[in-house]
Every structure is written in C-alpha cells, then in structure tokens.
C-alpha cells in the first residue's frame, strides 16, 4: 500500500472559518483522510504538508508507527504537530479500510456503542449578548444535548491590566454565563472556557464568582505552563463542586506527563488534530487513568476531526464527554459523504463502515481564504 500522494485541502465554510484536511492517496486507489485545521495558519500547514509529501511519497502507508511518529524535540511547533496528527489520522483510516473494519476496531474495540457529546455554542451564538448565548443554548437543549459550553470573556486579557474595558468584559462574561444557566435549568451540565485569559489571582476570583452557576467544569483559566497555580486552582474548583479542565493545544505524551504528575487537572482535553496522533492520545489517556483523570477531547472544528474523535473516544476507558461545535454551519454535515454525522439526542453513533466512515464530498465549497479579522484573538494565536 504505497503512498502515491499527500495533499492539503483547505475549505472556507463561513466568513470567519476555514477547515483544513490532509488526504493520503495510495497506489491501490485508496484515500485516507485527516483534519489539520489550525486557525489563521493555513499557509504554514499547507507548506508542512508539502514537506511531508516530498519525504513520504513511495513509502508504505502501513508503516504509520514509523512515518507518523511524534518526536517531542522536533522543530516546527504546533504547525508540525497538527500536520503530523492529520497524517496519523489518514494512515489509520487507510489501515482500517484495508482491514475492512472501522477505526475504533483498529484501536482495540469500543467500550461503548455511542459517544456522549456536549454542545460548544460559542460560534453559534449571534448576537453575542447574554440573550444571544441563551438562545443558542436553548437550541442545543431542544436537540437533546445534556451539556453546554461557552467562552464568554472576550476581549478580556489580564495582561492588559484592570482597565475599564477588561472590567466590562468580565462583567458581561458573568452575565452571559448566568443567562445560559437560567435558559438550560439546573440539571444540564454547564462548562465555561476561559481561554487562558486570567492570571492565577484573577482566576481565583473567577472561580468564586462562577460557583453560584454550578459549573460542570471551568476550562483553561491560566497559561498551561503554570503547573503549581493550576493545581491550586483545581483545589479551589473541587471545593466548590466543579472540575478543572484543560490542555487542549499540547502535543505528545511528554507534554501531558508533568500535568498528570503535578495533579493539575480533573479533565484533560487532547485534540486529535494536535496531540500527535490517535495512538498518542491513547497513551495520554492511559497515563491519565493511572491518576484518576478523565479524558474529554477538544473537538470544536470540522467533521473529519469529529469522526476520528468519535472512533477514539469509543476506545478510551476513562472517556468523559466529547465536544462538538454546535450551530456554526451546516457545512459540518454537507461537505462529507458516507455515514451520517447527525447528532442523535446529544450523542454520536459509532460508524460501522471500514475506515473513518466518511470522505470529503465532491462539490464547490470555496477554498480557504485569509481572515483579515480572525475569530481567535490574535494575541492567543
């Protein structure tokens, strides 16, 4: 099963969103698919895909342990890790196709027949007022989701100081959270993503202020490298009945080991696009399991990462819940063909077809375009 080509395909699916995919074609006319979406880094990812192709065309696609091996000391940063992760996804798709089985079987089989999802409503909230977030949450509730997440605090950034704009952003963020909690009632899991916008001191105040909303978890309040303070904040969260979650943009087992050893998080969130491959996430999950830490993969982008994540989550014993971007665009369902990715009352059914179970559909979806006003705060990447 020799590799005939490796190509990047970037698609523009909303005025503020591009998705990126990696396709590996083999000489026996199979195609394996991975996702390498990395906001506002499309030219760099495309160049890294070309670099991989120059080195790997002609290699045996069955040798994924060697040709998609994650090395933590290699240069290239998150761009290289994201491209390599997509390569591993695509090679796993090919291997499972060749075996005539779905990917979750390739990973050792499933612990569950369906995967519980929660709705990230952040991009589906319009307008971005408390009422707009509440309306998005009610839509997700109607579709059967039992967990809702929002990222309510932009444009706050603690390094900018205690400015009037920061204070106003914090107050509005709290109002957004309260509006969503009121809209969904007391029994639905509510998650809040802070996107590293807080200092340890201001994060402690945040934990105090959101405790009244009975959060299921608080996510990424401070920079990932601050292990001692993250562990302290975890204690503050646990004392108020909520989990602390994070580590969505790290790559490789070696990056996760210090977090587990330091007791930083109740929930780790490795992303199939960034963490170094499906097998690498299984290793991360196994390490986390030894410390009683749960796994809830980060998954707020396109349908290919989602499909891979569903297979992956089925095979993780300490899996908690899987994120899905809710309400952003119907392209999530329309740009792929094969098994349906439609959500089933807040859950995803396991694909049963050989391989990933989906492929990119032919069509006229525009190619990726530069985002002059990117969705992500440019200070956060």
pLDDT digits (tens, 9 = 90+) for 49-81: 999 999 999 999 999 999 999 999 889 999 999
pLDDT digits (tens, 9 = 90+) for 229-264: 999 999 999 999 999 999 999 999 999 999 999 999
Question: Which fold is adopted by the domain 105-355?
Answer: TIM Barrel (3.20.20)
Give the pLDDT of residue 372.
77
pLDDT band at 378 (very low <50, low <70, confident <90, very high): low
Q: Which residues pair with 322 in a beta bridge?
A: 117
- Mean pLDDT over each residue of the chain, to the nearest integer: 96
Tokens of 282: 């299984």
- pLDDT tens for 88-145 read 999 999 999 999 999 999 999 999 999 999 999 999 999 999 999 999 999 999 999 9
Residue 375 has pLDDT above 90, yes or no: no
Q: What number does CATH give the domain 3-101?
A: 3.30.390.10
Contact 217, 242 (CB under 8 A): yes
Stated pTM of the model: 0.97
Q: What is the pLDDT of residue 374?
A: 67
Sheet holding 3-14, edge to edge: 3-14, 17-26, 31-35
State the Cα–Cα distance between residues 187 and 2, nearest whole angstrom: 52
Alpha carbon separation from 254 to 66, 133, 189, 305, 328 (Å, rounded): 18, 37, 31, 22, 34
Would you kindly state where each structural domain of the chain is located, as residue ranges? 3-101, 105-355
CA 271, CA 82: separation in Å to the nearest integer?
9
Produce one character per residue of 29-67: b if its CB has 16 or more CB atoms within 10 Å, e if not.
ebbbbbbbbbbebbebbbebbeebbeebeeeebeebeeb
């Amino acid at each position: 099963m020799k590799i005939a080509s490796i190509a990047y395909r970037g698609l523009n699916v909303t005025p503020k969103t591009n998705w990126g995919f990696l396709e590996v074609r083999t000489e026996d006319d199979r195609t394996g698919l991975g996702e390498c979406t990395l906001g506002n880094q499309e030219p760099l990812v495309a160049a890294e895909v070309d670099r991989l192709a120059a080195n790997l065309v002609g290699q045996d696609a069955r040798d994924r342990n060697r040709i998609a091996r994650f090395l933590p000391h290699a240069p290239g940063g998150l761009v290289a890790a994201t491209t390599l992760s997509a390569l591993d996804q695509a090679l796993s798709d090919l291997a499972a196709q060749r075996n005539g089985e779905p990917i979750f079987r390739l990973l050792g089989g499933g612990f569950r027949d369906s995967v519980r999802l929660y709705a990230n409503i952040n991009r589906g909230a319009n307008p971005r007022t408390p009422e707009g977030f509440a309306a998005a949450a009610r839509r997700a509730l109607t579709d059967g989701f039992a967990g809702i997440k929002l990222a309510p605090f932009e444009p706050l950034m603690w390094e900018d100081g205690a400015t009037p704009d920061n204070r106003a952003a914090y107050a509005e963020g709290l109002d957004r959270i309260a509006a969503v909690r009121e809209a969904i009632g007391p029994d639905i899991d509510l998650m809040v993503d802070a996107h590293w916008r807080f200092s340890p001191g201001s994060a402690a105040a945040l934990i105090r202020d959101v405790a009244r909303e009975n959060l299921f978890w608080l996510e990424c309040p401070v920079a990932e490298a601050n292990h001692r303070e993250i562990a302290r904040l975890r204690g503050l969260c646990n004392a108020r009945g909520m989990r602390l979650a994070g580590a969505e943009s790290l790559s490789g087992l070696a990056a996760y080991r210090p977090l587990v050893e330091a007791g930083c998080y109740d929930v780790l969130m490795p992303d199939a696009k960034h963490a170094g491959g499906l097998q690498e996430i299984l290793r991360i999950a196994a390490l986390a399991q030894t410390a009683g830490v749960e796994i809830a993969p980060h998954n707020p982008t396109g349908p290919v990462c989602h499909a891979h994540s569903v297979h992956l989550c089925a095979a993780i014993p300490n899996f908690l819940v899987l994120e899905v971007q809710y309400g952003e665009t119907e392209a999530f369902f329309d740009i792929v063909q094969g098994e349906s990715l439609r959500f089933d009352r807040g859950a995803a059914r396991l694909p049963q077809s050989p391989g990933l179970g989906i492929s990119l559909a032919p069509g006229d979806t525009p190619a990726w375009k530069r985002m002059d006003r990117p969705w992500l705060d440019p200070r956060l990447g």
